[in-house]
Copies of this chain bind each other. A is one copy, B any other.
């Protein structure tokens, strides 16, 4: 990581506990939407009925009933023929990034990524010293031409992308673009790492067919309970062809033997008892309102030459700043005005990000969004 990035990420950390600062820089779900009571009840059930088993060692693959639940949900929601053998439980989908990189990447290998791409993936992959190849995004997703050229020329070990409500941009791939990408994958025998951390957070609750639907054997999907149930339990999964899963199991076993068994059981009990669809609908209606509010304030009070994305789900939007405003300088000025934004710089593997900032709308309250956007306006007006 270069010094510039390190320095502002450190400052970000330093101010993250300042209660006077309204944070649009983080990536937390709304804490008021955590079903504490429901999870507590599930935990009590687990302790009463199978506590001794839940506190013991278990298998690396993850709790089978939980994997079956995930497979069933894929079938029901997305109409893809998932089975438990293709699914493994990990410590949040971040661990999927690490372990996938571990089994695929050697120093100098090519890996493709969206431009801008998810910071956490860049960090995880970077530990294995690959050579990143960014592909630009347009309104429909990553450029199909850029994607084809990448797979035909550099033959990356895999391409990493977030087709639904991307982090940091909030953009989604169109269904047509997904089909095009799937075709290229099939032709070139390429692999697409389809991070679907946000897929359930669709404001209109409509499921969107994943790239996996059109190129089943060419995709590694990952999913997460962090955005829809609780991040503190660190629970996500990988969903991939069995020959990849086999290698993944070796890497997972070497990494930490298995994921927290107590929480796997609690999660499974909770999912069986709660009305998950309704819970997710509730999250989506609230995030939709917060996002709408933030978009409206962007349009109404920020200068007309600030351009924003138009998320239809997820937790983030991306602002492109007018010429002459640097995102790091805006970050500093924002802190003076008691609002924090995330400069786009760490989302680029090469140059880029000086002209954009990521805003999070899931965590702040509506009042905080209203006040924070005023502060952001004041910070921008200073330039």
Contacts and interface: CB of A to CB of B under 8 A. Distances in A.
B47 A254 contact: no
Contact of A232 (B55, B92, B230, B232): B55
Most buried by B among A40, A53, A58, A256: A256
A257 B126 CA distance: 15
A253 B39 contact: no
A256 B43 contact: no
A215 interface: no
Q: How many copies make up the complex?
A: 2
Interface in A246-298: 250-251, 253-263
Given A57-B231, A58-B232, A231-B55, A98 B36 contact: no
B123 A254 contact: yes
B94 A257 contact: yes
A54 interface: yes
- Residue from the set A31, A47, A232, A261 with the largest chain B CB neighbour count within 10 Å: A232
Contact of A262 (B102, B256, B258, B263): B263
A180 B303 CA distance: 70
Given A94-B255, A107-B107, A123-B253, 18 more contacts: A28-B56, A28-B57, A31-B53, A34-B52, A39-B47, A40-B44, A40-B48, A54-B232, A56-B230, A56-B232, A92-B257, A94-B257, A97-B254, A124-B254, A124-B255, A232-B262, A260-B263, A263-B263
Interface of A: 27-29, 31, 34, 36, 39-40, 43-44, 47-48, 51-58, 90-92, 94-95, 97-98, 102, 107, 120, 123-124, 126-127, 226, 230-234, 250-251, 253-263
